[in-house]
Chain A
Amino acid sequence: MTAVLKHELRSYFHSFTAYVFGAFLLAIVGFGAMLYNLQAAVSNFEYVLSFGSIVFVVIVPILTMRVIAEERKQKTDQLLYSLPITTTQVILGKYLALLAVYLIPLAVISIYPLIFAQFGDVYLPTSYGSLVAIFIMGAALVALGVFISSLTDNQGLAAGIGIAVILFNYYSVSLSEYVSSTAAGTVIALGVLVLALGALIRYLTRNEYLAYAVAFVLLAAICITGFVDPEAFEGLLPNIMRQLSLFERFNTFVSGVFDLTAIVYYLSVIVFFLFLSVQSLEKRRYH
């Protein structure tokens, strides 16, 4: 795993990737710091992080688009399969390298609250709590990016899908206001999602029976819940959309609360998508 880690780090720092990512992150956080902390003389650094988080919509997909897609394209995944390293080690090595690229500009940013503290009354625990949270939130988005990259051999497509997914996630809470909050609306939406999930399972596993079985079980569960307790569906769809938003959970940190459940949520997202990435890479072997 360390071999993959070192190899990836070397390639990121010998190319533009790490520097472009770092530059954009520093630029937008710097811009935000100027607006909030300098211009408006607000001493809350966490607002800057909240302001800057939209940049992840673009820089995370661009950072992660190559990770697996390029290996597939260049056929170097064949090399990785024939080496005495497990797929899990490959994914972990690549992921940790991406986190390292992310940590460097973040380390620079973590000095800002200290600088501002010299000139005003900055509440450091909230600032640093938010920094930890933005790190883990970014790490979750990066894990998502790794998974998306593992779905295709086309970097551009990976980037495009990544941007679309993260953008949707960013606006997920606002969008949830416009979505049907009636029980019927929720049932229909869930039904469509289950069918989409079934199609995805069929594509990933090429096993029709598994896809049908999963879809059938989930649809049955929805029907049963509908008969037993119809009120459960009231407002469920907007609620789900709110729960899925990674960015929304960051806001509790901005309010000064170090929300441990959010940290657990982010860590679960990381494990979930890294696991799926390993499966995706293994799938290629099982043609």
Chain B
Amino acid sequence: MIKVEHLTKYYGDFLAVDDLSFEIDEGHVYGFLGPNGAGKSTTMNMMTGCLSATSGRVEVGGFDLFEDADQAKKLIGYLPEQPPLYMNETPAEYLRFVGEAKGLRGAELERQIQAVIEQVRIAEVKNRRISALSKGYKQRVGIAQALLELTLKRASLEDIFLELTENGDPADQTPAGETTEEQEGEGA
């Protein structure tokens, strides 16, 4: 469950997001649509802790994103339009880092890494440098990172935000569609 209450963002004098409020329920997939420059990316960045809000509140799974950032962020997997990948690593190493940062350790960490690798089907390239992967594979690695810690929590809260560009390979969208998550599409 995600609650956004009176979210506002000013870039200097420019009003990017104006008193936005909405609720997102568990177990649903939502699309967040709007014309270019509407403030979708800004809103998403605020909802995931990448950007501060000028005013307003975001609540993820009952935790205030600004007050209880640690707890709230443990429930979030974020894939921006450009996947934030470390080019000189392999997907396996990258996923290990994200998993550890999310608080996973030991056998649980290994299990989740395996699970997401299978889920997005990157097993063949998991030990290849990310810089050497095709754009489609890179996108999948980004999805995998967002799914960590959440794959086994289908029954409980799952909040994933994806920004998919029109250039994304449509075939890559099916692994994401098979799990319960929220997607965000770009474009009008």
Contacts and interface: CB of A to CB of B under 8 A. Distances in A.
A81 B72 CA distance: 12
A66 B102 CA distance: 24
A252 interface: no
B103 interface: yes
Contacts of B71: 84
A2 B100 contact: yes
A11 interface: yes
Interface in A163-219: 206
Contact of B103 (A84, A206, A286): A84
A221 to B, nearest CB: 32
A3 B95 CA distance: 11
Interface size range of chain A in the complex: 20 to 34
A6 B103 CA distance: 14
Interface string A69-94: 00000111111011111100000000
Given A11-B88, A15-B88, A78 B50 contact: yes
B8 interface: no
B52 A83 contact: no
Contact of B97 (A3, A82, A286, A287): A3
A82 B73 contact: yes
Contacts of B50: 78, 81-82, 285
Residue of A76, A78, A206 most packed against chain B (CB within 10 A): A78
A75 B100 contact: no
Contacts of A285: 49-52
B: interface residue count bin: 20 to 34
B88 A14 contact: yes
B88 to A, nearest CB: 7
A84 B52 contact: no
B110 to A, nearest CB: 15
B86 A74 contact: yes
B98 A79 contact: yes
A165 B52 CA distance: 32
Interface in A1-49: 2-4, 6-7, 10-11, 14-15
Interface stretch (B77-85, B116-124, B174-182): B77-85
Nearest to B80: A78
Interface string B157-187: 0000000000000000000000000000000
B6 interface: no
B101 interface: yes
A84 B88 contact: no
A82 B49 contact: yes
A76 B103 CA distance: 19
B49 A11 contact: no
Contact of B70 (A11, A14, A75, A84): A84
Contacts of A81: 48-50
A78 B88 contact: no
Contact of B84 (A3, A4, A76, A84): A76
A3 B73 contact: no
B74 interface: yes
Contacts of A4: 101
A86 to B, nearest CB: 8
5 contacts: A78-B84, A82-B73, A83-B101, A85-B101, A286-B52
Interface of A: 2-4, 6-7, 10-11, 14-15, 74-79, 81-86, 206, 285-287
Given A82-B76, A206-B12, A287-B51, 17 more contacts: A2-B100, A4-B101, A7-B100, A10-B93, A11-B89, A15-B88, A74-B85, A75-B80, A75-B84, A78-B45, A79-B78, A82-B73, A83-B102, A84-B69, A84-B70, A84-B103, A85-B101
